């Protein structure tokens, strides 16, 4: 049974976002929360019987401004404190949380400790805020140990009573507290009267290999969503982007695409010239099944990478990670189609 030991140390990493804001009731404006006063402001955290430390970005940023430099900064903080802390909670704006947490899942190789991303829809001091519950439960999960080892050994995302594998998530709602979904993989933990842990869904670090942080990401990637009426000039403007090395192609349904000759020839020529193209489904849930229909048979023949049931957010992050790792063109397709961090079936 998972418990919290009194010597357990959890590090809060505040990057920005609504969860780290409090409202000044005299002016109505939002200002950054002082995490040095965390336990005074949220005394419930003392009931967890673990030590909580915190570190904040010098300048908290809106998650809409997140980029690969910030991802490296988060990963570097985790690397710096990896030996001294048992778990990490990253406070992050919700808009790009799935992107950042997916990227961290690839950047943190041989991870044997929890890295829990969370945020909120309302500031921490608001009357009906979801921030307190998300924060308290994230810290609790990050502190859980089983047989003197962290229960969670992967990058996860906690929001509105559910912990998901981070690289399986997508933000689905801008107004409801249930802002995220993981339609192709079940939750890892559900919070109710008790925490219900689904051990069979967890990743475990059985390897004896040393924890390693990948800090080189190549963001020469693109995204193109197919739509009725897509014309050759738009396609060509994307495929001919200078220095473009990889493209996520959001196809219809189970990986289907128009069979127009200009589209097929354009994609085929781009692949011939070394562009890595990954087919992912536009649907919220489900998987690409290359060749199931005639409209995806041509894509299969030209060796487009099968994204299976990966999310668009995770596909983009995985491409940046693989390109930054200098994976050879010969093995790129095989490696992408292989689950590295539980991001696809």
Domains of the chain, each with CATH number or no CATH: 9-213 (3.40.50.1170), 221-336 (3.40.50.40)
Report whether pLDDT(53) > 80. Answer: yes
Which residue(s) pair with 90 in the sheet?
13, 117
- The alpha-helical segments, DSSP class H, found in 82-130 are 97-107
Neighbours of 130 (CB within 10 A): 23
Handedness of CA 142, 144, 146, 147 (dihedral sign): positive
**CA 290 to CA 57: how far, in whole Å?**
43
Q: What percent of the chain has pLDDT over 70?
A: 99
Cα 160 versus chain centre, distance: 16
Q: What is the dihedral of CA 68, 74, 75, 77, to 10 degrees?
A: 150
In this predicted structure, the answer to whether residue 117 has a pLDDT above a threshold of 80 is yes
Do the Cβ atoms of 101 and 74 come closer than 8 Å? no
70 pLDDT above the threshold of 70: yes
Lowest mean pLDDT, pick from 211-225, 240-254, 292-306, 314-328 = 292-306
Angle CA 67–72–75, to nearest 5:
130
* Residue 163 CA neighbour count, 13 Å, CB half: 32
Of the residues 6, 8, 15, 18, only one is catalytic, namely 18
Backbone phi, psi, residue 161, to 5°: 75, 5
For residue 185, which of 139, 148, 154 has the smallest C-alpha distance?
154
Share of the chain above pLDDT 90, in %: 77
Q: Is 15 a known active-site residue? A: no
Is the pLDDT assigned to residue 207 strictly greater than 80?
A: no
* Predicted TM-score of the model (pTM): 0.94
CA distance 128 to 107: 35
Quote the CA–CA distance of 81 and 22 in Å, as a whole number. 27
Average of per-residue pLDDT values in the chain:
93
Picking from 311, 284, 101, the residue whose alpha carbon sits closest to that of residue 223 is 311
Q: Pick the residue with more confidence: 175 or 191?
A: 191
Interval 202-223 mean pLDDT: 92
Res 233 pLDDT > 90: yes
Q: 239, 275 in Cβ contact below 8 A?
A: yes
Q: How many CA atoms lie within 13 A of 73 on its CB side?
A: 16
């Amino acid at each position: 049974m998972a418990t919290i030991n009194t010597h357990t140390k959890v590090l809060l990493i505040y990057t920005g976002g609504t969860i780290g804001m409090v409202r000044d009731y005299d002016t109505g404006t939002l200002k950054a929360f002082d995490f040095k006063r965390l336990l005074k402001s949220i005394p419930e955290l003392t009931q967890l019987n673990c030590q909580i430390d915190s570190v904040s970005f010098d300048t908290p940023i809106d998650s809409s401004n997140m980029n690969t430099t910030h991802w490296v900064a988060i990963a570097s903080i985790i690397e710096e404190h990896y030996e001294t802390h048992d778990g990490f909670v990253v406070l992050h704006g919700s808009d790009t949380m799935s992107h950042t947490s997916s990227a961290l899942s690839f950047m943190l190789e041989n991870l044997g400790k929890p890295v829990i991303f969370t945020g909120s829809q309302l500031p921490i001091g608001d009357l009906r805020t979801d921030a307190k519950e998300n924060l308290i439960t994230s810290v609790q999960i990050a502190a859980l140990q089983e047989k003197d080892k962290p229960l969670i050994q992967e990058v996860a995302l906690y929001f509105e009573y559910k912990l998901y594998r981070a690289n399986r998530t997508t933000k689905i709602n801008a107004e409801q507290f249930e802002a995220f979904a993981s339609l192709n993989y079940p939750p890892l933990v559900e919070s109710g009267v008790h925490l219900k842990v689904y051990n069979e869904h967890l990743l475990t670090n059985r390897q004896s290999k040393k924890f390693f942080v990948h800090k080189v990401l190549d963001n020469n990637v693109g995204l193109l969503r197919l739509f009725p009426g897509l014309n050759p000039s738009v396609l060509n403007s994307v495929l001919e982007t200078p220095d473009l090395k990889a493209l996520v192609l959001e196809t219809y349904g189970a990986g289907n695409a128009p069979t127009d000759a200009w589209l097929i020839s354009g994609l085929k020529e781009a692949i011939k010239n070394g562009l890595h193209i990954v087919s992912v489904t536009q649907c919220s849930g489900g998987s690409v099944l290359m060749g199931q229909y005639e409209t995806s048979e041509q894509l299969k023949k030209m060796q487009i990478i099968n994204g299976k049931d990966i999310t668009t957010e995770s596909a983009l992050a995985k491409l940046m990670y693989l390109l930054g790792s200098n994976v050879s063109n010969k093995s790129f397709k095989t490696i992408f189609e292989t689950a590295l961090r539980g991001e696809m079936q």
